[in-house]
Amino acid sequence: MKALVKATAGPGLSLTDVPDPTPGPTDVVVRVLRTGICGTDLHIDSWDDWAAHNIKAPLVLGHEFVGEVVETGPSVTGVKVGDLVSGEGHLVCGTCRNCKAGRRHLCAHTRGLGVHSDGAFAAYVVLPEENAWVHRAPVDLDVAAIFDPFGNAVHTALSFPVIGEDVLITGAGPIGIMAAAVAKHAGARNVVITDVSDHRLDIARKVGVDLALNVAEHTIADAQRELGMSEGFDVGMEMSGKPVALQDMIGNMAHGGRIAILGLPAEQFPVDWSSVVLKMLHIKGIYGREMFETWYSMSVLLQRDLDLTPVITHRFDYTAHEEAFATAREGKCGKVILDWTGAN
């Protein structure tokens, strides 16, 4: 089958033929229809320090996907051939304390599809039955392909109650924009999103944020004044991994405010812990999705007319992967989709 492979240690990817996957007893084989390009894939492509320390070549990339089940292992009981599925890319051990307690998103032994094992940038992908989310209602294939990052957004956006609250989101990447859409859909009073990219702020406006703020030109305090706020934001979602973003967020939170952090910083940086203490802020780290309560929430949100289509800005055939990766890397985009329907 055709697959996009990190063949050897070093920059670049190869579209090449690899053996078709075979399922284990509890696995399913999925014919891939669409995939989304993630920042992790860009790291692996460029072979930066993170990739060099974490990736073992050869490896088929990709963990954001949707496809049709074409084969099941002999012990599979719930997923059927013909089911349309998205994949949960975190492969957990199933035996640690958190897994046995039903907190699989906290598994300390998590492995990543397309990171530690062959992934979905291919004609077919194999994964455990329990990692296959079956779509029971009609869903746009491009949206279904990005359920993985959509789940990050939902997990972050719904970590704290947002009904009637003023919400600040720092970082208007695709996940930040989706989190903004979820918060607004869930009943937030004001949703403000910040970035330095006017292109991405324009996408955020399309999903209905109250204010998309370029922090290279305006301050978050300016946003508060424009919206008639006087006591700060109730809920913060840090999506950028930028030190100044979290520092500005803490400085603009209301007393008793709650902050969910998804953005991964590249290095350590100082935090004004005095403000955290004196304001009695609650700070929570977010990683991945709650398996599988977040997935249920994602499906329900879409069934209740949450519109994510503005977030998907570019679509390419899998054979144009170089152009697709270049587009994603340039950053003047939302989510970039690869179409694998013609692969075999």
Quick check: helix, strand or coil at residue 265?
Answer: coil
On whether residue 294 sits in a domain, the answer given is no
302 is known to lie in a ligand binding site: no
On whether residue 315 sits in a domain, the answer given is yes
Q: How many CA atoms lie within 13 A of 76 on its CB side?
A: 25
Q: Are strands 233-238 and 211-214 parallel, antiparallel or unpaired?
A: unpaired
Where in the chain does DSSP place strands (E)?
Answer: 2-6, 14-17, 27-36, 59-60, 64-72, 84-87, 90-91, 111-112, 124-128, 132-134, 166-170, 190-195, 211-214, 233-238, 253-261, 282-285, 312-317, 335-339
Do 236 and 330 lie in a common domain?
A: no
Do 269 and 140 lie in a common domain?
A: no
On whether residue 302 sits in a domain, the answer given is no
Find the CATH number of the domain harbouring 209.
3.40.50.720
264 is known to lie in a ligand binding site: yes
Report DSSP state, residue 105: G
Among the listed residues 22, 26, 43, 194, the single catalytic one is: 43
On whether residue 82 sits in a domain, the answer given is yes
317 is known to lie in a ligand binding site: no
Do 137 and 161 lie in a common domain?
A: no
44 is known to lie in a ligand binding site: no
Is 43 a catalytic site residue?
A: yes
pLDDT at 321: 98
Do 129 and 165 lie in a common domain?
A: no
Do 75 and 132 lie in a common domain?
A: yes
Find the CATH number of the domain harbouring 129.
3.90.180.10
Do 162 and 186 lie in a common domain?
A: yes
Other CB atoms within 10 A of residue 134 CB: 14
Give the pair of three-digit tokens for residue 326.
């270049």
Is 40 a catalytic site residue?
A: yes
On whether residue 303 sits in a domain, the answer given is no
On whether residue 291 sits in a domain, the answer given is no
Which of 245, 270, 285 is at the close of a domain?
A: 285
Alpha carbon distance 49, 204 (integer Å): 31
Alpha carbon distance 61, 264 (integer Å): 21
| Rounded alpha-carbon distances, angstroms, from residue 229 to 122, 127, 165, 166, 259 | 49, 48, 11, 9, 18
On whether residue 290 sits in a domain, the answer given is no
pTM, two decimal places: 0.96
Do 268 and 327 lie in a common domain?
A: no
pLDDT per residue, tens digit, the chain (344 aa), is 999 999 999 999 999 999 999 999 999 999 999 999 999 999 999 999 999 999 999 999 999 999 999 999 999 999 999 999 999 999 999 999 999 999 999 999 999 999 999 999 999 999 999 999 999 999 999 999 999 999 999 999 999 999 999 999 999 999 999 999 999 999 999 999 999 999 999 999 999 999 999 999 999 999 999 999 999 999 999 999 999 999 999 999 999 999 999 999 989 999 999 999 999 999 999 999 999 999 999 999 999 999 999 999 999 999 999 999 999 999 999 999 999 999 98
Do 250 and 330 lie in a common domain?
A: no
15 is known to lie in a ligand binding site: no
Do 254 and 193 lie in a common domain?
A: yes
Quick check: helix, strand or coil at residue 106?
Answer: helix
Helical packing angle, 293-303 and 147-157, nearest 10°:
100
Among the listed residues 16, 26, 40, 90, the single catalytic one is: 40
On whether residue 332 sits in a domain, the answer given is yes
Do 32 and 125 lie in a common domain?
A: yes
Whole domain around residue 226: which residue ranges? Answer: 154-285
Do 179 and 247 lie in a common domain?
A: yes
Q: Which residues contact 260 (CB under 8 A, 6 or more apart)?
A: 156, 157, 159, 160, 235, 236, 237, 238, 284, 285, 286
Burial track 199-228 (b if 16+ CB lie within 10 A, e otherwise) = ebbebbbebebbbbbebeeeebeebbeeee
Do 112 and 132 lie in a common domain?
A: yes
Give the pair of three-digit tokens for residue 325.
């990766």
Domain count, the chain: 2
pLDDT at 266: 85
99 is known to lie in a ligand binding site: yes
